[in-house]
Amino acid sequence: MTFFIDESIRFITKNLDDILLVALGLLIFIAIKYQFNMNGKKTTKSNDPPKVVKEIVIESMDIKDKLKDKFEKYEKIVENSVSNFCKSTKGKSHRIEEKCKKQKDTTCKTLSCCVLAMKKGEKKGQCLAGTKLGPTYHTDENGNDVNFDYYYYQNKCYGSGCPE
């Protein structure tokens, strides 16, 4: 125990200048911080009594628009993340279809809720909602059949027309 105390005293006497410099710096920092409040304005002491300010806020009971804006911003962030794309729309086939149609071919091939339907000889495909079994919907919005020879699902080609 005496060894610890002797070593501590030696350390303090050897580094006294540095210790005092750090302590002085902390005191100056605390004094400056004390003079300013959280808003960055200097606090002043006044002998004036506090004033009562009456403020009336009339809230409309329609918060639907405010929440809608916040929800849409959050939804865009989630949907822009490829890893969350399919999770955020799970069970909503029509919504998945809308989102898949907006994807690039390279992204579409990797998603777990979309397939890239292709025709032989064409370089650009059509991104549709689907699984390993193929597109979820086999007709478009107008009721026309979606024609394809093969499709990509998670970077694997399925169907009889897959290129070699």
User: Within a domain: residue 140?
Assistant: yes
User: Is 85 a domain residue?
Assistant: no
Give me the domain span that covers residue 112: 92-164
- What mean pLDDT do residues 7-15 have? 90
In a domain? residue 99: yes
Whether residue 142 is contained in a domain is answered as: yes
58 in any annotated domain: no
Q: What is the pLDDT of residue 71?
A: 65
For the stretch 143-164, pLDDT in tens is 777 788 899 999 999 988 888 7
Residue 148 falls inside a structural domain: yes
Q: Distance between CA 46 and CA 53 in Å, rounded?
A: 18
Model confidence over 73-123: pLDDT tens digits?
665 555 555 556 677 777 788 888 888 888 888 888 888 889 999 888 888
Residues 98 and 31 in one domain: no
List, for residues 28-70, the tens digit of each pLDDT value: 888 887 776 544 555 556 677 778 888 887 766 666 666 666 6
Question: How far, in Å, CA of 118 to CA of 162, rounded?
Answer: 9
What is the Cα–Cα distance from 109 to 49, expressed in whole angstroms? 70
Global pTM?
0.48
Flag whether 49 is in a domain.
no
Structurally, the chain folds into a number of domains equal to 2
Query: Does residue 152 contact residue 115 with C-beta atoms inside 8 Å?
Result: yes
Asked if the structure places residue 96 within a domain, the reply is yes
At 23 the pLDDT is 92
User: Is it the case that residue 72 has pLDDT exceeding 70?
Assistant: no
Same domain for 98 and 164:
yes
C-alpha separations of 138 from 22, 28, 141, 142, 144 in Å:
74, 73, 10, 11, 8
